[in-house]
Structure 1
């Protein structure tokens, strides 16, 4: 297996500390168009960290320069927009449901996400998503740091996600598709006797 740079818990969090020192951009909101997947990868380096922050509805309120470059977006096209503007059509919705359930429950989410840049290129990330809290303890938004996974990890998770996506696509109803995908994911985790975060770090 190739080196899992930054994807052990210790290395992942050390990378987050370094990432907080990088530059960032401020807020606006403008729409942008979507492109069909090109099959090309929008690459970023092992030592780079993609950082975004959203409000409680998932609208982007902060994005660092790495995010803008890799997603081929401009500042005015990004902030104030829903984070789903970079959602790839081959990404199972069941993973997003798990992510939202986890972070709204004030827990940390770790997982692999396939994203779609504005120009149609794609990029895989290993994401760490957490809630941000106000002084009164209420959730005021969400914070995400993403690192580049190894080639072997992408290969492994692509096969797993393809099976979950196939379960979703057997249903025309969005709610039934989501339920089928969630069932497929839960069956996988049950067979491996792992929580999702354990599964993500074991790949």
Structure 2
């Protein structure tokens, strides 16, 4: 396996507005399916992605609290929309508007997760960049990862309360 820790390039990759990046994972977030758009945009081959944790594309600019919220929602059987910056194999990055949903088996039990990612509006990306920088700053004030995540989650909750919005209303309103 090639390292995914190529130095960040600062170069943003884009994909067409009519393209959808699709992946599926098992319950632990291990990739079981990746479509051709995901392969092309991320720069990974199918063999490099399948069987690997989805966080292989995690970009360090993503606040931990957003991932915590994502996992809480999907493990609870709910969908979530989130703006996510991912890291390509070569250190480039790409922004997506992710829609993540649980996959249910015949008994209605969560068997895995499905993510469809679209090209986000530029104004939403700019808003997310500012918000995520503030959340990461808050995380950086704390040594323990759990404290950092709790602090940034509290900051996000406070922001949403101040706006009188749910997380979903906030994200879909960007």
TM-score (norm 1): 0.84
Aligned to 1:32: 2
1:139-198 superposed Cα distances (whole Å, 9 cap, x missing partner): 000000000112111111110111111100111111111111111111111111111111
Please give the alpha-carbon distance, in whole angstroms, between the structure 2 residues aligned to 1:32 and 1:55.
Answer: 22
1:143 corresponds, among 114, 137, 140, to: 114
Alignment of 1:112-151 (within 5 A): 112-151=83-122
User: What RMSD in Å do the two structures reach over aligned CA positions?
Assistant: 0.8
Please give the alpha-carbon distance, in whole angstroms, between the structure 1 residues aligned to 2:25 and 2:127.
Answer: 29
Q: Count residues with an aligned counterpart.
A: 173
Aligned to 1:62: 33
The answer to whether 1:173 aligns with 2:164 is no
Please give the alpha-carbon distance, in whole angstroms, between the structure 1 residues aligned to 2:12 and 2:142.
Answer: 29
Alignment of 1:12-91 (within 5 A): 31-33=1-3, 34-91=5-62
> After the TM superposition, which segments of 4 or more aligned residues of structure 1 sit over 2 Å from their partners?
none
Please give the alpha-carbon distance, in whole angstroms, between the structure 1 residues aligned to 2:163 and 2:16.
Answer: 31
Please give the alpha-carbon distance, in whole angstroms, between the structure 1 residues aligned to 2:124 and 2:146.
Answer: 29
SS where residue 128 of structure 1 aligns?
Answer: strand
Please give the alpha-carbon distance, in whole angstroms, between the structure 1 residues aligned to 2:50 and 2:2.
Answer: 11
Contiguous gaps of at least 5 residues in structure 1: 1-30
2:66 corresponds, among 83, 95, 103, to: 95
SS where residue 127 of structure 1 aligns?
Answer: strand
Aligned to 2:134: 163
Aligned to 1:13: none
SS where residue 149 of structure 1 aligns?
Answer: coil
Please give the alpha-carbon distance, in whole angstroms, between the structure 1 residues aligned to 2:20 and 2:57.
Answer: 16
1:111 corresponds, among 82, 94, 105, to: 82
